[in-house]
Structure 1
Amino acid sequence: MFTEDDLSAARAAGVLSEDDYQRLNAFLLGRAQKMQPQGQERLEGLAAAPEPARFDVIHLLWYAGALVIIAAMAVFINQAFNALGGPGLALVAVCYAAFFVFLGDHLWRRRDLKIPGGLAITIAVAMTPMAIWGLQESFGLWSEDAIGRHAYSDFVPLINGNWLFMELAAVAATLLALRFFPFAFLTMIAAIALWFMSMDLGALLTHGRYDDYELRREVSLWFGLALIGLAWFVDVKWRRAGDFAFWLHLAAAAAFWGGLTFRASSGEWLALTYCLINIALVFLAVFLRRRVYAVFGAIGVSVYLGHLAYDVFDHVVLFSFALSAVGLAIIGLGIALNRKIGAIDSWIDANAPPALQRLRPPA
């Protein structure tokens, strides 16, 4: 029997047109689904299209409730809450974490409610920075190479080298939680902590100097590049078990692109290099099957075009018309890619060297 990959390969080779491929694939999948209720096996090797992840009002309420609790304990902290001090906040964090670990374990294992159980564990992990801040405040564990103390409510809006310990603890807590509760949304906590770390590490290395932006941008750039490698590794290793790398890719792209975009550059060759790197991000998005890089790459190309419009061709009347034509061409390219992305994927899978195929995350 033939598989869906065989159909894709035939389409990529031009044996089947796109319309023929879609009709034949839909017919075979429909036939397989009709045979299933009668106790007959599906067509050998042809897996039915996976059901899309259900996300209804119930799921929305679960996620919204979890995010409200996390925000209440991390973002919307008022001065009255800060007045609890280090010991008080540490105690609150530990009590919250203990309660939500108990609730999450109960829902996950005894009630078989994976999503609300996983969200409860995520809330527990999100209490880690508060607990660490409370310990730092209680015992005076503040680095002299970073900016001075700040209230816990400053954790999200302000860059501070002292937050580094809180972020490392959040990553460690996420890894520990994933060991017992393989819930992909948990990686959001680690991804945000790593993104914050890319900025706070620069603040620590500059000894709290706000004017040394160049080093901070360099740290963000290289930290983001390393994080891309980590997210890539997680994708290749565990993609089939769940989308554990989504948030890592998002944080990696933000850190790398932010450091790249805000670097001090002089000369048109460096500006052109910036544009080419952003174009490379679009191709990386295709190879890794991660659209987030295409989004940042497209924004970067737009930044370069804006530079041309305002700094290089400011007095050229025809530039706006030429740029409009380029925009139309980009839209047309996007439409063409949308129609042929399946064939491109199949071509890469069929023609890429084995070593390169092993580096490509599964679909």
Structure 2
Amino acid sequence: MKFTNKDLDGAVRAGVIARETRDALVAFFEDGRGGAPAFTMANVLYYLGGLIVIGAMTIFVTDAWERLGGLGHLLIGAGYGLAFLGMGNWLWRKREQRVPGGILVTAAVCMTPLTVYGIQELSGWWVWDAPGMYEDFYRWIKGGWFFMEIGTVAVGGLALRRFRFPFVTLPVAFSLWFLSMDLTAVLYGPDFTWDQRKVVSLCFGLAMLAAGYLVDRRTRQDFAFWLYLFGMIAFWCGLTSLDSDSELGKFVYCCVNLLLMAVSVILQRRVFIVFGALGVSIYLGHLAADVFDDTLSFSFALSGLGLLVILAGLQYHKHREAIEEKALCLLPAAIRRTLPRYR
């Protein structure tokens, strides 16, 4: 059942609820039902403008930026960051303007890589050799970017302590994803192998997923989404790129992706089912192209399997609560109590 402001006004006139309660309920629902911001044209414009600003100062920079030098990079990064932070803080104090305020704070955090890059240019202090131009930060895997990523994670963490706005976790999770790639060069040196990179990406992705799990549903707002997304990218890409010459290894890969789809139901997170479905599709494509290439019946058998999956979906939809309850009962009680849905 849905309620409008008119219904709430009627409840106030009837003496069912107090005027203060009515105002609190309106503020709660207009703030995105206590969680994500409401889907309004104003919020769409806020996020669109914020993404344009962030993109302009990060992934859309050009070769012309190199003419600024280290001091220019430092002044622009720190200047823009402080300006965004000041405007964001001013809007944040106005409850009805917290969405644009939080977006500007996020933009301030996104200026950290440029600021750190400027400091490193001036000091000449890199992990190894200078990794290249600032625009290469978003293109190439190099250990020299390490402190830019660590700095962004640290500044984002500090921002989250003051501004409880989930979008701030975007640059944090994004930098952690980049760190999962550049960390290979830090651990193994510039002559790392691709196999080492794959393993580091897989393990780091798992760590990010674990971090997302720990913060999931601790508050009404969703601070886990970006950790899950970029953690899943790091883990799944590392897993998918691992070479396996055996059919058993490829079958295990399919099973892991099926497990991800099951996890999506337990955690109620769509990102797991998206990547899991992609992985299963890759395995089925392998069967069609390499294993049963000359077998006419494979396509018919696979279509039959698809119909069975649809029927299973119908049964699941019909008995969803009972099935999920039984599935949860299979988990040890200690694990079941830690699930986000029970927090």
Aligned pair partner of 2:216 in 226, 235, 241: 235
Taking only aligned residues, the RMSD between alpha carbons, in angstroms, comes to 2.8
Extract structure 1 runs of 4+ deviating beyond 6 A: 32-35
Query: In the alignment, what sits opposite 2:298?
Result: 319
Q: Is the 8 A contact 2:131 2:143 kept in 1?
A: no
Q: Which has the higher contact order (CA 8 A, sep 6+)?
A: 1
| Distance apart, 1:350 and its partner CA | 7.3
Within the alignment, does 1:267 sit opposite 2:243 as a pair?
no
CA–CA separation in structure 1 for the residues paired with 2:163 and 2:312: 42
Percent identical residues: 41
Within the alignment, does 1:209 sit opposite 2:191 as a pair?
yes
Cα-to-partner distance string for 1:305-359 (whole Å, 9 max, x where unaligned): 1111111111111111212222333344445445554554555667865423321
Within the alignment, does 1:225 sit opposite 2:181 as a pair?
no
SS of the residue corresponding to residue 172 of structure 1 reads: helix
Deviates more, 1:116-125 or 1:313-322: 313-322
SS of the residue corresponding to residue 84 of structure 1 reads: helix
| Distance apart, 1:93 and its partner CA | 0.6
Query: In the alignment, what sits opposite 2:277?
Result: 298
Within the alignment, does 1:129 sit opposite 2:105 as a pair?
no
TM-score after normalising by structure 2: 0.87
| Distance apart, 1:81 and its partner CA | 1.6
Counterpart amino acid of residue 312 in structure 1: V
Q: Is the 8 A contact 1:128 1:173 kept in 2?
A: yes
SS of the residue corresponding to residue 57 of structure 2 reads: helix
Shift in alpha-carbon separation, 1:215–1:321, aligned structure 2, 3 A = same
TM-score after normalising by structure 1: 0.82
Deviates more, 1:88-97 or 1:197-206: 197-206
Deviates more, 1:80-89 or 1:333-342: 333-342
Q: Is the 8 A contact 1:289 1:361 kept in 2?
A: no
The number of equivalent residue pairs is 325
Aligned pair partner of 2:260 in 281, 287, 310: 281
Q: Structure 2 matches for 1:246-261, cutoff 5 A?
A: 246-261=225-240
Query: In the alignment, what sits opposite 2:15?
Result: 39
Q: Is the 8 A contact 2:131 2:145 kept in 1?
A: no
Unaligned regions of 5+ residues in structure 1, if any? Answer: 1-25
| Distance apart, 1:283 and its partner CA | 1.1
Counterpart amino acid of residue 234 in structure 1: V
Q: Is the 8 A contact 2:254 2:283 kept in 1?
A: yes
| Distance apart, 1:34 and its partner CA | 10
Q: Is the 8 A contact 1:285 1:294 kept in 2?
A: yes
Cα-to-partner distance string for 1:230-272 (whole Å, 9 max, x where unaligned): 1101115x2x331000000001111111110000112111111
SS of the residue corresponding to residue 316 of structure 1 reads: coil
CA–CA separation in structure 1 for the residues paired with 2:181 and 2:312: 35
SS of the residue corresponding to residue 138 of structure 2 reads: coil
